[in-house]
Structure 1
Amino acid sequence: MGTETARLLEFAEGSWHPLGGFARQDDRGVRMLDAPVELWLTGRMTHVYALGALLGYPGSVALAEHGLTALSGLLRDTAHGGWYPRVGWDGPITTDKECYQHAFVVLAAASASIAGLPGGRELLDDALELFENRFWSDPDGMLRETWDEEFQTEEAYRGVNANMHGVEAFLAAFDATGDARWADHARRITDRVVREFTAPNGWRIPEHFDPAWHALPEYNADKPDDPFRPYGSTIGHGLEWARLCLQLRVALGADTDTSWLVDGARELCGRAVADGWAVDGAPGFVYTVDWHGTPVVHLRMHWVLAEAVGTAAALHAVTGDDAYLDRYRQWWEYAEEYLLDRDLGSWHHELDRNNRPSAVVWPGKVDAYHAVQATLLPRLPLRPSIAGALRDTDIELPGAD
């Protein structure tokens, strides 16, 4: 598996953008330089190469620093605060301040800080201050969604996807700083999502809400395959939340009652597998289902399988249940057969319902974030963040120093 980590890092080396940050790559790894530099993508890839730096993979430090430079300059709004979502050769293309995208600034900065990269801690402190002042809603125990450029007007929408990546970011920030406030923010978000929203809904996660946190079950019914806000229950998010529950359990420590997190992780994973795995006559996870569990979008996204692998490994580590080990092996076999592209590199990002390469939602091979993490989580002890686990663990990686 270490070889697969190195193979993914090698392919993604070509994603650096000459303007700053990182670019999407096509199926052959060619950079899409006509597209703008995107905040979420640059945050993710900076995080990935911070992990590479912790692994000792050659060239990772320079690539992570390239990302940090863009997050500290090109993508930053020095006039109003925060970061721009998309910046082109002539300047910002979109100016709204999106929580989802900002979460990856925190994640990148936290991982860079843990890796000891210059400027990582300063960027992390700035990003966390912005989150606390602009996105965190203490009365709700949740994160706001999107502001306009000047942080004056909010979007009349709240989303669980942004909060999920907020939990991931806060756990990484806790690992980087030791400040229990960030673990507590992650706990409050997870408590609402898992116990208040999801458990009463048959363990299918309601994704979309109004500003008062009333569910909008028909949101985007006319656009069911949206890459960030799809209609219905998103199978991969059930798996991702399950893993985050177990990482949060570590952050909260042995003196806290965290049995609900293990129970929730089991239920979330169980529902995702029952609804999503091989339910339409072929192996693979469907993208989304409706509120009765009927598949809506049959496309297979690589990130869903990647999250399944990490979650199965985490659940096996926590529970000792060999059924999760069996699933882990089954899903890696699927990845080997259908997703790993041995000819052109990296993983196919999207397959159709017959497991043939597709490009409806995610053309090309956009980033290495999910796949790299899938190769690392099974080899590491469970920690609040992957960077924290790498800091505390020696693992071998072919091609590393």
Structure 2
Amino acid sequence: MQDQPTHGAPAAPSTNPDSGAALRAHYASAVLPVWRGAGFNAALRLPFEAVNPDDHAPLPPKRYRAMACARQLFVFSDAGDLNHAATLFDSLRHYFQDKRHGGWFYSVDANGAPLERQKDLYTHAFVVFACAHYARQSGSADAFALLDETSRLIEARFGNGGDVLNAALAEDFATTLEGPLQNPLMHLAEAWLAARDATGDAAYDTRLATLAQTVARLFVHEPTGCIAELPVGAAGNRLEPGHQFEWYFLAIGSRHAAFESAGLNARLERAFDFAQRYGIDARTGGVVAALDEAGNVIDGTERIWAQTEYLRALATRGDALGQQIERYRARFLHARGWVECRSADGNISRADMPSTTPYHLATAYASLPA
């Protein structure tokens, strides 16, 4: 028997079974206030990395990541709280911008001093994504300038003169620490879609076309259509159902020509079917973390972000959502927030609530019917 959240009842259901109204209401009343209050370090003006689910007390901080600050900047820009968003934008620049070498540090320590100084594509993608949303909502000239500057830097520094972007570089960009990975490229696609919407600059169409072609060439597992985590043929590769659903929304939901031209849309239709067939627990509706190329579960952990991406992909396809929304609510939401992870046997394996998760909730819930 799988346990249920012990922190309180989920949000009340909507009269429309496919509606996201109840999820959005829970987000507004139980999630956002945490990160304006207990989850925000007012002295440093940074979001804590995570809070306790029962009393929202912050976990003792060991670091603050630029990516977490950027995601919170998106969250509050999206929510229309531009005062808090402006604070986060200022903090992002103050703590994480590398004035010497350019780009963005990965993290600062508990006192706000640079800690992990490497330059990773994932962080830079979220800076672009957050600045695009903040710029669009606020009209900030600084945010528009920063998203353009960071996009140019990504092209110039992460590719070592080519189109294939590496995942991590040394502080001064001189040494490659990690080669191309799927996940940073996916979030860069998300960021450049947001930048295109915010700026109207056709340069982002060109960037998206190049990125989509790279992903199609290096990461697509042709027998399933899935986009693998590592370049195809790499040892230890895996297929994550949540990322198939996320790519499905980004490529097909955006209707941007770059993905169709690269041949990704048809493959992602097959990837959706593969992920749904092998990556969903038929009894609970839970989305597992990872499969091998034959569809065997190699990591049965159920992370909340993968559940929200499944909802978003279902909505993009126009499929019925009612049953999946209810399963998700029962397993992952409670009165004081959410369950971050469940193990393969259904037990809560991570109970603290990270500051990065509201981004997943906001993006998914926005796609659901009213």
Q: TM-score range by the shorter chain?
A: 0.7 to 0.9
- Correspondence 1:151 to 2:184: no
Which residue number in structure 2 is paired with residue 341 of structure 1? 334
Cα pair 1:23 1:38 within 8 Å, conserved: no
- How many angstroms does 1:372 deviate by? 1.5
Task: Summarize deviations over 1:7-48 as a string: whole Å, max 9, x none.
Answer: 332233233233233222222332235221101111111111
Normalised TM-score (structure 1): 0.78
Query: What does residue range 82-231 of structure 1 map to in structure 2 within 5 Å?
Result: 82-88=103-109, 89=111, 91-118=113-140, 119-136=142-159, 139-140=162-163, 142-194=164-216, 197-209=219-231, 215-218=233-236
Correspondence 1:51 to 2:78: yes
CA displacement at 1:369 relative to structure 2: 0.7
Work out whether 1:310 is the aligned partner of 2:312.
Answer: yes
Q: What residue is the counterpart of 2:347 in the other structure?
A: 356
Work out whether residues 213 and 262 of structure 2, in 8 Å CA contact, stay in contact via their aligned partners in 1. Answer: no
Q: After superposing the two structures, state which structure 1 stretch, 166-175 or 109-118, moved more.
A: 109-118
1:189, distance to aligned residue in structure 2 (A): 2.1
Equivalent residue, structure 1, for 2:92: 71
What one-letter code is carried by the residue in structure 2 that aligns with 1:284?
A: G
Other structure's SS at 1:312 match:
helix
TM-score between the two structures when normalised by the length of structure 2? 0.84
1:289 to 285, 288, 291: 291
Instruction: Provide the rounded CA distance (Å) in 2 between the counterparts of 1:32 and 1:186.
Output: 38
SS state of the match for residue 115, structure 2?
Answer: strand
* Residue pair 2:82, 2:138 contacting (<8 A) in 1 also: no
Q: Structure 1: state its 5+ residue gaps.
A: 54-59, 219-230, 317-323, 381-401
**Which of 1 and 2 has higher RCO (CA within 8 Å, sep 6+)?**
2
3-state DSSP of counterpart to 1:87: strand
Aligned residues with identical type, % of pairs: 23
CA change 1:298–1:114 in 2 (3 A) is same
Aligned residue for 1:120, secondary structure, equals helix
- 2:30 equivalent to 1:3: no
- Counterparts of 1:190 and 1:137, CA distance in 2: 18
Number of residue pairs matched by the alignment: 340
Q: Residue type of the partner of 2:46?
A: G
Deviations 1:369-388 (A, max 9, x none): 101211111248xxxxxxxx
Contact 1:349 1:364 (8 Å CA) reproduced: yes
Q: How far did residue 76 of structure 1 move? A: 1.0
Q: CA deviation at 1:108?
A: 0.6
Match status 1:12 vs 2:30: no
Gaps of 5+ in 2: 1-20
- Which whole-Å CA distance do the structure 2 matches of 1:181 and 1:244 have between them? 18
1-structure distance, mates of 2:340, 2:144 = 32
Q: Secondary structure at the match of 1:183?
A: helix
Tell me which of 352, 355, 359 is aligned to 1:369: 359
User: What is the identity, as a one-letter code, of the residue corresponding to 2:36?
Assistant: E
Structure 1 201/160 Cα, relative in aligned 2: closer, same or farther at 3 Å?
farther
Post-superposition CA distance 1:257-316 (Å, at most 9, x none)? 66955423322211111121016x643111111222111111110000101111111122
SS of 2:62's partner is coil
Per-residue deviation, 1:217: 3.3
C-alpha contact (below 8 Å) 2:125/2:187 kept by paired residues: yes
1:244 aligns with 250
Give the structure 2 partner of residue 228 of structure 1. Answer: none
Conserved 8 A contact 1:106-1:124: yes
Q: Matches of 2:77 and 2:198 in 1, distance apart?
A: 13
Mapping of residues 2-41 of structure 1, within 5 Å: 2-7=24-29, 8-14=31-37, 15-17=39-41, 18-26=43-51, 27-28=53-54, 29-41=56-68
Cα deviation for residue 86 of structure 1 reads 0.9
The answer to whether the Cα contact below 8 Å between 1:43 and 1:105 also exists between their aligned partners in 2 is yes
Verify the 8 A CA contact 2:97 2:104 in the aligned structure 1: yes
- 1:47 maps to amino acid: F
